[in-house]
A and B are shown apart, each in its own frame.
Chain A
Amino acid sequence: MTRYEYGGDEFIFVELAEAMSLETNFKAMAITKALREKKVSGILDICPSNASYMIRFNPDLIHPDDLISKLKELEQDVTLENFEITARAVDVPILFEDPWTHEALMRFRDRHQDPTSTDIEYVAHTNGFQSKEDLIKSITDAPYLVSMIGFVPGLPWCYQMVPNEKQIEAPKYVRPRTYTPERAFGFGGSFAVIYPVQGAGGYQLFGTAAAPIFEKEQRLHDFKESMTFPRQGDVFRYRSISMEEYEDIRKQVENGEFRYLTKDITFKPKDVLENPNAFSESVIRRLYA
């Protein structure tokens, strides 16, 4: 049952479901896209999230209850039947078990569920994998939907496009770390994330992304239009790389030449929901074709 809630006098928060699912996320995307197209006056921000969405508005221009009525109508009208998403498939190189996140996670063992193992060993174990290599294989085998952006500028919450029984789940730290290195690749709940900048964080740390997802100087090609790279609806394929490739990418980033490997894609959520495996395979084929 959808909950419509006031967030003070300037926000409406709409929780479509308490649990995460691809279907709920697609629905949030469809509703917020339709709302954007309506260009309702008084709306300042439309923030689609994982299983919910949030609107910031100016109540001097639109009464919150009128806005809620509009949102309820939209919820009735919007279906996933013909909804299409145009986005990018992106190759995202990750150095798993890198020295920098390792150093960070070892510093905060006292805040972790299992102080005697590393984050990746712990999550491999709790998800029933034989080894951490199996966990890495599972993460890199199928792509992820960028289901929400936020926390800090550009952080992508990514939800794997696999059947429910194949989803990986991880608890967050017992108490959040006060330090997470820039570009750390983390996992919490059912989400993979990349931390855009150094800061606090509570997700399990598995590795480091070689390329930035936030670049305030906007030097790199992928950041010319925006300081933040990820967009909701993008499909990220996390690829495990060696230290050699990592260092090579870092050089390309430093001399301003790095560009993400991307392909434009259009897909129907309906097709993804009907056969996530087939969709994942087709994205990976297209990305590396």
Chain B
Amino acid sequence: MIKVINPGLQTTIQDYGRIGFYEVGMPPSGAMDKYSYRASNLLVGNDENAAVLEITYMGPVLEFQQDVTVAIAGGEIPPKINDQYVPMWETLEVKAGDVLSFDFVKQGARVYLAVAGGIEVPLIMESRSTYTLCGIGGFEGRPLQAEDHLKIGNANQSKIAIGTRISDELIPVFSKTNEIRVVVGLCSYRLTEESKKRFFSIDWTVTTEANRVGYRFKGERLNFVEREQPFGAGSNPSNVVDLGYPIGSIQVPDGVEPIALLNDAVTGGGYATICTIISTDLDKMAQIKTNEKVRFVAVDINEALEARKLYKDKINQMKKQVLGQIGGINHG
């Protein structure tokens, strides 16, 4: 068991996500930075979909009530065991009675804590991920609170030696100015050519509305092509007949403040979507904080697929590094 002494700002249980229920309006939830999530699970020998803690901005204080292997990966929110700094991106050992806490966030926004065996909570629609809006999944459908006791499961496949590390070149570097790649499309025909250009040529500032549902940006007003609104769309020029929103899609309600929809977002609605963040850059988006800057960069589908391939290569290298040490493990 792990006892929550202080829950931090927002700590939730997440796994790979609740995939396959988009049709009924169920967003995937799941770890927002999948790369760091995968790294943390790998380092404790868990299977790829094991549940971990996603920690946001301010870390929790946790007391371990049993000996267990853990790993912490993601944004730089420096972890301490019994007040001694311990490395991230490395397999660590904790003993019963040890207290894990975190220092102030230095870079990034979210960090993942995996324990060997995974966090054990009931599967809801095939996932342990917390979706707070509807109060399902995770620990009673909500972020952790003080006095919660977390059970450790048996989702580990292999034993990883203490001190196993992800090498530096595979550790992402987080920054306060970011390029996020998007594929233009969906209802981008609604924006004027001028506004499309402006969208890609200014630095957007992340507002205080930046959470698991989505990120809202400040910059300048964008304009829509004038038209007589089609039947059923609603009267605002940013309205369309309600449609599905891809994860990572960006909309600009009323032309003011673009919103990027993320893991816990609404699955559809009546605003024109103009582009979609490519899957690999969703991880980066998850590590950006309020007041940091984002520049959107348009890529085509082939560049997006190429980025995806490079990303998979990195994950495979990470797997080789970690699992190679125990003599070649079964999955690739």
On A, residues with C-beta under 8 Å from B are 3, 5-11, 13, 15, 17-21, 44-54, 56, 59-60, 63-65, 148-155, 157, 159, 164, 167, 169-172, 175-176, 188-191, 196-197, 199, 202, 214, 216, 226-228
Contact = CB atoms under 8 A, between A and B. Distances in A.
A63 B305 CA distance: 9
B210 to A, nearest CB: 16
Given A151-B25, A171-B235, 17 more contacts: A7-B185, A8-B248, A13-B244, A15-B243, A18-B233, A18-B240, A19-B231, A45-B20, A45-B21, A153-B24, A164-B231, A172-B239, A172-B270, A189-B232, A189-B241, A189-B242, A228-B25
Given A151-B25, A216-B134, A7 B249 contact: yes
14 contacts: A15-B187, A45-B19, A56-B22, A65-B301, A151-B242, A151-B267, A151-B269, A153-B26, A171-B235, A171-B236, A172-B270, A189-B270, A197-B134, A227-B125
B23 to A, nearest CB: 5
Contacts of B20: 44-45
Contacts of A227: 125, 136
B318 interface: no
B233 A154 contact: no
Interface string B130-165: 000111100001000000000000000000000000
Contact of A228 (B24, B243, B312): B24
B279 interface: yes
B236 A20 contact: no
Q: Which 5 A-B pairs have the closest CB atoms?
A: A20-B232, A7-B246, A8-B276, A54-B244, A150-B268
Contact of A152 (B134, B183, B234): B134
A47 B22 contact: yes
Interface string B284-321: 00000000000000000100110110001000000000
Interface in B175-219: 182-183, 185-187, 189
Contacts of A164: 231
Nearest to A200: B266
B247 interface: yes
A189 B305 CA distance: 36
A189 B19 CA distance: 30
Interface of B: 19-26, 125, 133-136, 141, 182-183, 185-187, 189, 230-236, 239-244, 246-249, 253-254, 266-270, 273, 276-279, 301, 304-305, 307-308, 312
Contact of A18 (B134, B183, B230, B273): B230
B279 A9 contact: yes
A153 B265 CA distance: 11
B234 A188 contact: yes
A11 B182 CA distance: 13
Contacts of B187: 5, 15
B278 A8 contact: yes
B68 to A, nearest CB: 31
Contact of B247 (A11, A19, A51, A190): A11
A20 B233 CA distance: 8
Nearest to A113: B235
A151 B241 contact: no
Contacts of B189: 3
Contacts of A53: 244
Contacts of A56: 22, 246-247
Contacts of A175: 254
B266 A150 contact: yes
Contacts of B247: 8, 10-11, 56
A31 B251 CA distance: 26
B232 A216 contact: no
B25 A9 contact: no
A110 to B, nearest CB: 15
A124 to B, nearest CB: 17
A64 B185 CA distance: 14
Contact of A171 (B231, B234, B249, B253): B234
Contact of A172 (B236, B249, B268, B273): B236
Contacts of B277: 8
B276 to A, nearest CB: 4
A157 B135 contact: no
Nearest to B136: A216
A172 B234 contact: yes
- Most B CB contacts (10 A, CB to CB) among A6, A45, A150 go to A150
Contact of A7 (B21, B235, B276, B305): B276
A7 B186 contact: yes
Contacts of B22: 44-45, 47, 54, 56, 150
- Most A CB contacts (10 A, CB to CB) among B233, B253, B312 go to B233
Nearest to B308: A9
B141 A45 contact: no
- Most A CB contacts (10 A, CB to CB) among B23, B125, B267 go to B23
Contacts of B232: 19-21, 50-51, 159, 167, 169, 189-191
Contact of B183 (A9, A44, A188): A9
B299 to A, nearest CB: 10
A191 B232 CA distance: 7
Nearest to A51: B241
